[in-house]
Structure formats: structure tokens, C-alpha cells
Amino acid sequence: MKTIRRSSSIIYVAAIVAIMVAFPAWLPAQTAAVKSSDASSGSAMQWSVQVDRVNPGDLEIAHSFQAAIYENLLKELNKTKQFKQVFRDGDRNCSDLPNLLVLQTTVEKYTPGSETRRAVTTVSGATKLLVRTQLLTRDGKIVLERRVNGNVRFFGSNLRATHNLARNIAKAIKQSRWDVG
């Protein structure tokens, strides 16, 4: 009976330690440190961004693929902590914000891939996307313009290209110097 209690206590403690290691943001002290560092890392004028829906251009791209790019872009921009707030297209809460930028994304090239071909051979079957992304002020002044690509070459679903594209766009915005002045 004592060995069962001892074993269950050890397992219980190990589970708590594993949870604390896996999810450090849940710890109160860790959360306070993250909040204070976010506040101090912001510039004097923190900008918000509204993400417009993905423009497919002249290409035939499934609506679900466009939606996946859009949702992944929202998620990746939030992760960067570059902007005070990230708004969806048409959000009424951003209509009165003075420091608002608009992110527009237009697909320029799209090569649909094949998960089966990627699994069989590493030479063919890649899904490739090339987009032109622009960060604009409310009055239409281009603050930043980049061509960014996203692809899946080896393993993963075709939608993995949308995640990679969104991550690359967020990374390009974060690493670029852009002047709104």
C-alpha cells in the first residue's frame, strides 16, 4: 500500500514538473516578466495593423487556401509582438485608431503541389507561393513593400505552405525598418 502511494506521489510530482516545463507562461512570475518586457520593448509610438483579406490576383486559388493564408498571417503577426493590436479586415474597433497601418497581400505566383509526389520523391511535388505584401498608412502611403515566398518541399500538407508564407511575411516585417513619418 505504501509503495502504491509513493509511486503515485512520484508520478504526480513528475506530471506537475512536466507541465511547468512545457507551459512556462502559466507560471505567475514568468507571466509578469513577459508583460513588463513587452511594455518596455515598445517604441514611443506603437502601431496597430489591420490585415486585409488575401487578394488572389489573376490566379485560381481555392478560397480555403486564401483563408488559411489569412488566418496564419493573423496568428504569426500576433506572435511577433511588433504591433500593439492586430485587427481583422472590416473590424469596426480600428476605425478611430490614430496609429493604424494596413497590410495588403496579393498572390503573384502559385504552384499547387502534391503531397503524394513529395512523399514518394523529394524532387517534385512542392507547393510554392509568391506574394507581394505591402504595409500602408490609412491614406495609402506605402511604408513597406516586399515579395515573400512560402513553400513546402519535402514533408507536410499543402496548407503547410500557407503557414510558412505567413511566418516569412511576419519575419520580413519584423526585420525591416519602416518609416511612417
Using the predicted structure, report yes or no on whether residue 76 has a pLDDT greater than 90. Answer: yes
What are 110-146's pLDDT values in tens digits? 988 777 776 666 667 788 899 999 999 988 999 999 9
pLDDT of 83: 92
d(CA 172, CA 145): 10
Higher pLDDT, 82 or 152: 82
What length is written for the chain?
Answer: 181
Return the amino acid letter for 37.
S
Q: Helices marked H in the chain — which ranges?
A: 2-22, 28-41, 63-80, 115-120, 160-175
pLDDT of 11: 66
Higher pLDDT, 33 or 160: 160
Residues 67, 100, 179, 79: is their CA dihedral positive or negative? negative
Beta-bridged to residue 131, according to DSSP, are 107, 148
- Please tell me which of 8-22, 25-39, 66-80, 103-117 the model is most confident about, judged by mean pLDDT: 66-80
pLDDT of 115: 72
Q: Are strands 48-51 and 100-111 parallel, antiparallel or unpaired?
A: parallel
pLDDT of 154: 67
Q: What is the mean pLDDT of the chain?
A: 78
Q: How many CA atoms lie within 13 A of 80 on its CB side?
A: 24
pLDDT of 29: 35
C-alpha cell at 18: 512536466
pLDDT of 46: 87
pLDDT of 149: 92
Helix, strand or coil, per DSSP, at residue 178: coil
Mean pLDDT along residues 57-81: 93
Question: Quick check: 72 and 163 in contact, CB under 8 A?
Answer: yes
Phi/psi at 85 (nearest 5 deg)?
-145, 150
How many Cβ atoms from other residues are within 10 Å of residue 99's Cβ? 15
d(CA 70, CA 165): 10
Question: Quick check: 49 and 102 in contact, CB under 8 A?
Answer: yes
Q: What is the pTM of this model?
A: 0.71
pLDDT of 106: 96
Mean pLDDT along residues 46-50: 93
Tracing cell 506537475 back to the chain, one arrives at 16
